[in-house]
Amino acid sequence: MREKFTALSILVEEAFFLQPFRERHIFTPAAKKPPHVTVHSPFKEMEDVNKQVLRELTDLFAFFNQFTYTLKSTGHFADIGVLYLLVEPAEPFQVLSRAIREKYPEIEPYFADPILHVTLARVKDLDSVEKKFYLEFGNQLPIQATAREVCLYEKYDNVWYKRNSFPL
């Protein structure tokens, strides 16, 4: 079943070792998507992503340089039971997000000014899972990472698939 939207995300390759933890503690299709920072969601429906849109995205992201960032502390969205790693600094991601919104003002993101993060868990008992995370991975923090590309993901049959990537 084809979903109604895509998303633009930056994969955090340096955090791929966290994937088994994520799969144990996220019970949504997002668990199968590797660790990432979403810079715009929703984007267009996949059937609306034609050659022109792909060229526009290629040109848009080519304007930006790769950048480094750090994942060093956890945070919570307690109301929805999400444990995450905070992205620092957030500004380069915010600049990308604003550029997408300016290029495609007709596509409103879910959150106008999101807290940029890498989701670790979506559970009811955040404190317990956060303790497990620090026991298992605390000595591997902070994680230094480099944003190299923006990826276009499509959710299809309740699974996220990487459809394109655009180098920074």
Q: What is the pLDDT of residues 120-153, one digit of tens each?
A: 999 999 999 999 999 999 999 999 999 999 999 9
Phi and psi, residue 63, nearest 5°: -70, -20
Confidence of residue 4 (pLDDT cuts 50, 70, 90): low
Token output for 46 = 């996949």
Task: Give the global pTM.
Answer: 0.92
Q: In 3D, which of 140, 117, 160 has the Cα closest to residue 2?
A: 160
Q: Quick check: 17 pLDDT over 90?
A: yes
Block residue for tokens 């088994």:
20
Most confident of 24-28, 46-50, 64-68: 64-68
Report d(CA 151, CA 100) in Å as an integer: 13
| Torsion angle of the four alpha carbons 130, 146, 15, 143, in this order, in degrees rounded to the nearest 10 | -50
